[in-house]
Structures are given as C-alpha cells and as structure tokens.
Structure 1
Amino acid sequence: MRDNKSLKHNNPQPDGRYHSLLVSRLINQIMVDGKKSIAVSIVYKALDALAIEDASGDMKEKRRLTLEKFERAIKNVTPEQEVRSRRVGGATYQVPVPIRHSRAESLALRWLINSARSRSGKPMPTLLTEEITNAYNESGPAFKKKEDMHRMAQANRAFAHFSWAARN
C-alpha cells in the first residue's frame, strides 16, 4: 500500500509551434504506440486547416486566432459536472459531483478524439478539423456527449446530498 505521500504529476511541456499546454495534451492523447511525430503531424495539419478557414493577416495572427478557436472548442465540450455511482444503504445512486478542471479537460480532449476516430473515409487531420469546428459551433458528437452528461447530472440532482460519499 502507498504511503501518505503526494503523487508527482508529469505535466507535459508546451508544444513547439503554439506554445500551448492544451495542444501538447491533445498531441499526447492522439499518440498511438509512442509515435509522437505522427501525432504532432496530425494535430498541426488539423490546426493549420483551421487557420486556412480563418485566412487572414500574418502567421503570428493566424496562429493566435487558431489557438483561440481551438481553446473555445475545447471549452464548449468541457463538462462541469459528472455522475458517480455511490452505494448507500443497499441502493446504488448516481450522484452528481463537480469535476476537477484537469479531468474535465481530459474528458473533453478524449471525446473530441474519439468522435473523430469513430468517423471514417477521410484522413485523421481532416476529421479532427471537422470535430474541432463542430465543437466550436456547439454541435457534433463530442458536444452531445457533454450535454448528455449534464442532463444525467441534472436528472439525478435529487441525490446531490450524497455528494459527501462521492468525493473519494
């Protein structure tokens, strides 16, 4: 069993092009079998395609606008509450609890990637661009997943008084 020491989290470094931790985390979640250069290529191609949609001014301005659009898309897909199963007195309740920011962001990235991977017929950078655009416009499967999670939390808010048991 683990001693009562705090765990050291391995925080990723900001990516080289956009200097963003969020883009770096997206790259790490896209990565399969340790092939980071392929993941970097996919993410940068997807974000470049977003920049082309916005086609304006110089390169720095394009990157800034692209990063803002990406961050807004992630914010639109980031959940604020989730439900956790808690067993109280022989019954199992779905208890709505607030989510830590890091977990919420991870869920948003995961949903975005999974919804892009679930589609087929196009290269991954194109699919990722479409999913980011959908999330920015508050539509698509990733946004629907967030809405479903919030709907579930709202439906079970009667059990919120069990949240003391859900914070484990």
Structure 2
Amino acid sequence: MEQKKNKELILNNINSFLQTDLGKKIINRLMKDGKKIKAEKILSDVIILLSKIQAEDPIKILKNAIQRVQPLVEVRTIRVRGANYQVPVPVPVKRKTSLSIKWIIESARKKKTGPMKVRLQEEFLLAYQRQGESIKKKIAVHKLASANRAYTHFRWF
C-alpha cells in the first residue's frame, strides 16, 4: 500500500515537473522529428530511473546537474580590421540553461550503449557528480575564454 502511494507521488511529481519551463525545455531539446510524446516518455523514464538509483529527489538531481554544467563565459568571434578575435563574454541566464541542457543531451546521444533513457540518466548523474562529457565541455569553454582574456577590450556589443 505504501509503495503504491510512493509511486503515485513520484508520478504526480513527474507530471508537475514536465509542465514547468525547465521540463518543457528539456523535452523540446530531446524531441526528434516532432515526436514530443516520445521525448516526454524518455524524460519521465529518466526521472523514474533516478528515483530508483538515488535516495534524493530526482528532480532536484536534474536541476543541480543542469546548474553545474552552466557556463559562466563563452567566446564570440569578432572581426576587427581584417583579423578575427575570440572575445570572452558573459553568458545570459537563459542561454546558460539552454547550453547546459544542450550539452547534456548531446553527450548522452554520443554514447551508443543502451537506450536513450539510460544514457541520459547516466549523463545527468555524472553531471550531478561534476564528471562526464558535459562538464568537460564546460571546462573547455572556460579554458578557451581564459586563454583569450587579452581580447576582452574588443567587447563593445
């Protein structure tokens, strides 16, 4: 009886998360060829898998994983007097979230072992533990921005 209540609570929690802005962003990023229901199913399966593996709230794990992958700065290419410079610029809040979701899903798609729900769940867990491909991508972007610090005076846009 108690197990049934826990399952209902998790399902209600999943449905409410899928209706939030963050849930919709993840679903739209996961979606291929307009198959939104399939993307929703994958995300809900990921949340269920996370609840089975971790004792913590799976939605909290998702949010923390996305937050830990968010880049602080990125580089933009600017052309000045015939030369191209990569100028580090701060990333707006919406773009931070979009980039982190994009990187997590891309790194899950790169793996070719098992179904997408398992790969995505593993990638969210790795990002939550500050490991994995998406965190490496964030570090690479930060290193590139740090290497091009000298060109910040070209930032007039």
**Alignment-derived partner of residue 31 in structure 2:** 31
**1:20, CA displacement in angstroms?**
2.8
**Alignment-derived partner of residue 20 in structure 1:** 20
Structure 2: unaligned runs, 5 residues or longer: 1-13
User: Following superposition of structure 1 onto structure 2, how do residues 132-151 of structure 1 map, counting pairs within 5 Å?
Assistant: 132-151=124-143
- Residue 15 of structure 2 aligns to which amino acid in structure 1? G
Deviations 1:10-47 (A, max 9, x none): xxxxx833243212210111011111110000011011
C-alpha distance in 2 between matches for 1:16 and 1:40: 10
C-alpha distance in 1 between matches for 2:89 and 2:128: 25
C-alpha distance in 2 between matches for 1:39 and 1:91: 43
User: Following superposition of structure 1 onto structure 2, how do residues 107-126 of structure 1 map, counting pairs within 5 Å?
Assistant: 107-126=99-118
**Alignment-derived partner of residue 68 in structure 2:** 76
Deviations 1:91-125 (A, max 9, x none): 11110001111111111111111110111120000
Structure 1 stretches of at least 4 aligned residues deviating more than 4 Å after TM superposition: none
C-alpha distance in 2 between matches for 1:156 and 1:121: 37
Counterpart of 2:46 in 1: which secondary structure?
helix
C-alpha distance in 2 between matches for 1:147 and 1:23: 25
C-alpha distance in 2 between matches for 1:144 and 1:32: 25
Aligned pair partner of 1:93 in 56, 80, 85: 85
C-alpha distance in 2 between matches for 1:88 and 1:94: 11
1:155 aligns with 2:147: yes
C-alpha distance in 2 between matches for 1:51 and 1:42: 14
Deviations 1:27-70 (A, max 9, x none): 11101111111000001101111111124xxxxxx6xx211111
C-alpha distance in 2 between matches for 1:17 and 1:132: 19
Instruction: State the aligned residue count.
Output: 143
Alpha-carbon contact 2:113-2:119 (below 8 Å) kept:
no
**Identity rate of aligned residues, in percent?**
40
TM-score where L is the length of structure 2:
0.86
C-alpha distance in 2 between matches for 1:142 and 1:26: 15
**1:153, CA displacement in angstroms?**
0.4
C-alpha distance in 1 between matches for 2:144 and 2:47: 32
Root-mean-square deviation (CA), in Å? 1.4
C-alpha distance in 2 between matches for 1:136 and 1:35: 27
C-alpha distance in 2 between matches for 1:94 and 1:34: 35
